[in-house]
Chains A and B, each alone.
Chain A
Amino acid sequence: MRSDFPDAPTPVRLPGGWSLPPFGQPQWLALLVVAIAMWATSALWVGLQSVLQWAGTLQPEIHFYLPPGQPQQQQALIAALKQIEQVKRVDRVSRAETDAWLKRWLGGTPVAGDILPDTIRVTLSGNGDFLQEDLHDIAARFHASVNDEEFALLHARDRLTLASNILLGCGVVLMIGMALIVTNTLRLSLLAREDELSLMRLLGADEWFVQLPFLLEGGVIGAGAGALALVLQLPLLAALRALGLTPPSFAHLILPLLAAGVIVGFAGAVVAVRVRSA
């Protein structure tokens, strides 16, 4: 600006077009509020993603127990389990392994070897609509029992995925709210400049020329909020990594957060100029 008017003793501010209105307290406040809201949503999402990632590294396993000394029954059970789509692997667990596990579980107390059941470990690749029922049916057919508690992890993963989707939905609602915060701020800005704007229109200014600074202002508030929310993710990512989790990488957050910020700010600005000129 100054270079256009080298003789001006103070910077020259001409309204309209690509010139940005002054960035004052209300603008900073809106930026902060939007940044906090964006940070909170994305932090929850990052947390959930980390937990999901962690849950994914755990192989969901279901154990089947058969009364000992029935090798045919065991063979038939293994064959039946292998028929199921989500079953990745079926292993016979050796007696020694069962023994060791049980000992550890019972805190070192020795167990009489001959009462132990034969154990079969089923490794699953995912969950399906009737998986639990199917596995129970098979167990009943071969008079085996299933460790039902192990289904919990499978369900937890489903719930986490659902929670993460719900969170994204809430994020969209929150974005609308944040856009309205920007709208409100810009309406203050528009109101403060009402005289100038109506004068520009009377002098024959194009509507886009009058409105563009406010659309830019909205975009700047949104982008700033996105950038701030992004920077505030860094400590969270570090903390999650310290917990041994693998959160999404920072690079993966840059584009979504900045883009969401700009969209929110711009949408808020569009509403503000529309409402005003109505």
Chain B
Amino acid sequence: MDPTPLIDMQQVLTRYPSGRIALGGVTLRIHRGEFVFVVGESGAGKSTLLSLLYGALPAASGHLTVAGVDLRTAKSRAVRALRRQCGVIFQDHRLLFRRTVFENIALPLQVQRHPKARMVGRVEAALAFVGLSDAIWSYPDTLSGGEQQRVAIARAMARQPKLILADEPTGNLDYDTALQVTRYLVELQRKGSTVIMATHDLQLLEAFPSRVITLHAGAVVEDRG
């Protein structure tokens, strides 16, 4: 096993401005190339945990290193560089409905000033991976919920990130579609990415046996696999 973990979290505590402590002293290590499920009841802290990993939320105390970046002391430049290595699928998927599927998926490439001439190829490849090649010039609101989830996956993988953080990418989907969406993520892991997927769909855990971290009320209560 790789001696330096991709994610090293020790006694991390997170407090929202409201005073609510969402994670109380979480310690875990995740290595490169792993596929990890994060489960737990609603409000357990799954989204909070994922937000910490790309610097969207600061840790109030403890120690947190992601891809060699110490997030508690890092300059904003280093945080931006880390974010560019991450592919995030947000819980509310955050597609821009006033922009086309192409523009949505090209956005992560655009923010790192990827040459425009090679954008279409990248976006097409990402869409082909999730089986939505025909939708490239449509608007997201003309797609079904499951198709929108797949666009969100395509956006997260467009710049071939080392780390994929998927926050309930199968929420609101029927079981078959959920299986298919998870299969895409497992496929990305096989291609070399590290994938962390939050879910409350326990059936998926049986279909894809892998490491499962269980959160309860802001603490890790089980870590198996």
Contact surface of A with B, Cβ cutoff 8 Å: 4-5, 7-10, 12-17, 195-196, 199-200, 202-207, 209
Contacts and interface: CB of A to CB of B under 8 A. Distances in A.
Contacts of B119: 4-5
B56 A15 contact: no
A42 B65 CA distance: 59
- Of B54, B56, B107, most buried by chain A (CB within 10 Å of CB) is B107
Contacts of B113: 17, 209
B84 A200 contact: no
B111 A204 contact: yes
B110 A15 contact: yes
Contacts of A8: 102, 137
Contacts of A200: 107, 111
Interface string B74-111: 00100111111010100000101001101100111011
A204 B81 contact: yes
16 contacts: A4-B119, A5-B116, A9-B137, A12-B102, A12-B103, A13-B103, A14-B107, A14-B110, A17-B110, A199-B94, A199-B107, A204-B80, A204-B82, A204-B83, A204-B112, A205-B80
A4 B111 contact: no
A247 to B, nearest CB: 48
Contact of B96 (A4, A9, A10, A195): A195
A31 to B, nearest CB: 23
B120 interface: yes
Contact of B117 (A4, A205, A206): A4
Chain B interface, >50% SS class: helix
Contacts of A10: 100, 137
Going nearest first, the 7 A-B pairs with the smallest beta carbon separation are A204-B83, A205-B111, A204-B84, A4-B116, A204-B80, A14-B110, A203-B108
A197 to B, nearest CB: 11
A195 to B, nearest CB: 7
B80 A196 contact: no
Nearest to B106: A14
A167 B88 CA distance: 56
Contacts of B99: 13, 196
A203 B82 CA distance: 9
Given A10-B100, A204-B112, A15 B107 contact: yes
Given A4-B116, A15-B107, A203-B111, 4 more contacts: A5-B102, A10-B100, A17-B113, A199-B94
A145 B96 CA distance: 86
Contacts of B96: 195-196, 199
B32 to A, nearest CB: 20
A204 B102 CA distance: 19
Nearest to B112: A204
Contacts of A204: 79-84, 86, 108, 111-112
Most chain B Cβ neighbours within 10 Å, of A5, A8, A15, A204: A204
